[in-house]
Each structure stands twice: as structure tokens, then as C-alpha cells.
Amino acid sequence: MEQQVRVFVGIDWATEAHQVCAIDASGKELGNRSFAHDGEGLSSMARWLIGLADGAAETVHVGIETPHGAVVELLIERQCAVHSLNPKQMDRFRDRFTVAGAKDDRLDAKVVADALRTDVHCFRRLRLDEPLVVEIREWSRMADELGHELNRLANRMREQLRRYFPQVLDVESDVTRPWLLDLWELVPTPDAAKRARKSQVAALLKRSRIRRIDAEQVLELLRRAPLSVAAGTTEAAVAHIRQLVGRLRLAEKQHRECASKLDELAAALSDKAPAEDTEPGQKNEQHDVTILRSLPGVGRIVLGVLLAEAWWALRARDYHALRALAGAAPITRQSGKRRIVVMRQACSLRLRTAVYHWARVAAQCDPASKAAYAELRKRGHSHGRALRTIADRLLAVACAMLRGGQTYDPQRRKASARLMEPESPSADAGSGKKSVGDAR
């Protein structure tokens, strides 16, 4: 590699300016400069680095902690090789240069450059994602944020309703439902419920296509004995809820738009078969999205997170990287006779949550996963550990399907304890030792 790479570059990423250090294959420093985070500054940085390599951009290898953003995209487009490393790795590499704990931007940039020169195997090579994958990632994260926002607003509204009008929650516990918000605006207080006409409520239910409950039942629930509250409490709670209703409507509408857009983008990605994945004689090869959708427990949310957060591992069919990213691969700590296995914490939290719910649904609807879950629980494993084991094997199945280009076939999968055990020796399988740190 030292014969091929002319320049090793370390970038200490920042908000307004980036510190860039360049060294040659022998470790000699070629320059240590700062570039502003704007169009001219980043273009100047790229020209300077490529100039150090006499115009051979492919011989410039760049290391950076942040694996995304304008800096990464610009350098990859200019044909430079960009690698990323974990901030914790960066902290350990820094100890080579100082044991006193000194830290500054120039030193950090040099540390990354030198670490890339000597330990390139510790870095991950970055590549630009497909445009559809970039869109899916953004819409998936927006949907996740809007879901959290809906939960926060809904919890606040429930708390206000419990202050003076808990009967509304007897009608419908999900306060994010648009028809319930319409009902509250029609009947905001217990006194208004006494005056409300049955025809008004019936028209609202018909307009919202609600058939599980009729107007008479709704009014009966709303007219139950009201709470006795202090003067001004009802007015204060109503004013608070009026502020929440508009935000709930907006967040719920945007959340539905995100879900619809995710379906649209996933369908577009499924229809777009990459040329590099299609070999002669394989015109009927299944696309990755179609294959992943066929797995039990994979729905819109799980599929969106898999494509958004683990696209590079899925494209590489890298099972070990995928299970580490998803937190399904356990961590073994052994010293002498002491050996414990704990849950992995260093992972993508969004991916770990999605894979957890994937395994949970699969354990309910897939016979093989259901049988494996029962067997693991019988052995004494916790609920969380059993689901992580199932998730681990589902990831292995997914990678095998992607490599073979085939959709899920339940007949080819046997429900056996041997199949469901983790492949990694660090998984503590059959050792009889209890794991520490299981999520319960």
C-alpha cells in the first residue's frame, strides 16, 4: 500500500472550519492547514490534497471520524479514497503521540493521518450511497423523530384530560387519532357533553368512518359523572389542549406523509435493479428490497431502518458487520478463569431497536422463530437475550438470501435449537454460563 498511496490525510471535522494534516508514506508531514466549511474552502482543500499527489487523486487516502457530510462527498467525488474510524479508536490512537492527555485540532488531524498510514485495516472505506438510499435514510429518520414527537404531545394531552375530563380517554385511548381531536373540539368539557346533540356526534363518526362505536355510546361515556375540580382548572386545561391539538394534527399528518413516502421510495428502489448486481443469465434475480420484504416480521419501519442505517453492510452481504451494527453480536470479556458475555452497547441504536422489533414480531408470526423463542426461554434466557438470538439468526438468514438472490421460503428453514444458536464463539452458546447485561 505504501507504494501505491502517495498522501495520507487526517481531517479533524468541525462546524465552521476543518483542520487537515497530510503526510507521505514515510510519515513525513507535508502540511497542516485549516479550511473553512464553505464551497470555496472545501474546493481549496481538495485541490491542495490532489496537488500533493501530483494530480493522482486515487493515491490520496483520507481518514475522518464523521462518515458523512459535504467533506466526505466532495472528496469521494474527486476520486479520493475516504475512510472513517470510530471516535473511541481515535482516542486510543492519540495515546501514541501523548500520554499527558494533550489535545488540539492540529494534533488530532495528524493522529488520524498517521493511524491511517499504519493501521488502515482499522478504518472503514466509505462510498457514496445511491440517491434513493439517501432519501430513504432521511425520511426514515424524520418518521422516527415525528413518532417521538407524537408520543410526547399525546402524553401531554392525556395528562391534561385526566385533570378534568378523563371520560374522553374512555372513548378512545389513542389521542393522536384525528376523529378524536374533532370530537374533543366538538365536546371540550363535561358541560359541553351534556349539551351536545346526538346528530352532531353521529355526523362526526360517519364523516370519520368510525363504526366500532355509535353516537349514543359516545355520549353515554362522555356524560358520566365529571370530576370535581377547582375553579379555573377546566379553563386552563382547555387552553392547554387547544395548543396541543394543532400540533398533534400537524405531526400526525406529517407522520403519515413520511410513511407514504417510505413506501414509495422502497418500491422505487425495488424496481431499480442496479446494473452491477445483474449478471448475464440472471435477468430474474430478485432485488434486495424484495428479498428483505419477504422475511417474516419485516414491515415498513424495519425495512426503512435496515436500508437507511445498514445499506453498505447489506450490499456487501457482510453478516458479521451487520450483527455488530445491530447490537446482536454479544461481547465476551475473559481474563484467566473469569469469563462473562454481555450485550453489545456500541451499535446503531435505531438499527438495534428496529431489529429487536423485527425479532419480536417474527417470534409471534413465524413458526421457526416462535419455536426457537420458546426453547430459549425454557433454557432460562431472558426475553431480551432470546430476541437478540433470534435477531442474530434472522440477520444470517437475510444475508444468505441476499447472496443467493432468493426470497424467504419457510419450508427451507427448520425450527431447531442448533439453527437458532449464534455462530460466534463469543455468544456463550451451550457454555451454561449466564450472560450479564441482558435487556429485560
Span 312-346, pLDDT tens digits: 888 889 999 999 999 999 888 888 889 998 898 88
342 pairs with which residues across the strands?
331, 436
Q: What is the pLDDT of residue 4?
A: 75
Give strand ranges (E) for 37-125.
60-64, 81-84, 124-125
Q: What is the pLDDT of residue 272?
A: 64
Whether the per-residue pLDDT at 146 is higher than 90: the answer is: yes
List pLDDT tens digits, range 173-204: 999 999 999 999 999 999 999 999 999 999 99
d(CA 305, CA 325): 12
Please give the grid coordinates belonging to residue 63.
Answer: 481518514
Q: What is the pLDDT of residue 62?
A: 94
- At 407, the pLDDT band (50, 70, 90 cuts) reads confident
Q: What is the pLDDT of residue 273?
A: 52
d(CA 4, CA 7): 9
Is the alpha carbon torsion for 267, 273, 274, 276 positive or negative?
Answer: positive
- At 440, the pLDDT band (50, 70, 90 cuts) reads very low
* Type of residue at 235: E
Name the DSSP class of 391.
H
Whether the per-residue pLDDT at 351 is higher than 80: the answer is: yes
Please give the grid coordinates belonging to residue 268.
Answer: 422505487
Cβ burial of 212 (10 Å; 0-12, 13-18, 19+) is exposed
Whether the per-residue pLDDT at 411 is higher than 80: the answer is: no
Q: What is the pLDDT of residue 285?
A: 42
Whether the per-residue pLDDT at 398 is higher than 70: the answer is: yes
84 pairs with which residues across the strands?
64, 124
Give mean pLDDT, residues 220-225: 93
Rg (CA), the chain: 28
Q: What is the pLDDT of residue 3?
A: 44
Contact 377, 385 (CB under 8 A): no
Name the DSSP class of 366.
-
Q: Of 6-10, 238-242, 369-373, which has the strongest mean pLDDT?
A: 238-242
Q: What is the pLDDT of residue 231?
A: 92
Give mean pLDDT, residues 228-249: 94
d(CA 437, CA 357): 19
Task: For cell 494530480, name the residue.
Answer: 55
Write down the mean pLDDT value for the chain: 86
Contact 285, 276 (CB under 8 A): no
Longest dimension (CA), the chain: 86
d(CA 321, CA 299): 22
List pLDDT tens digits, range 264-293: 888 888 766 554 444 444 433 458 888 999
Give mean pLDDT, residues 73-87: 91
Contact 324, 347 (CB under 8 A): yes
Least confident of 94-103, 130-139, 395-404: 94-103
Residues in the chain: 440
d(CA 158, CA 156): 6
Helix (H, G, I), strand (E, B) or coil at 122: helix
Least confident of 17-26, 268-277, 355-364: 268-277
Whether the per-residue pLDDT at 418 is higher than 90: the answer is: no
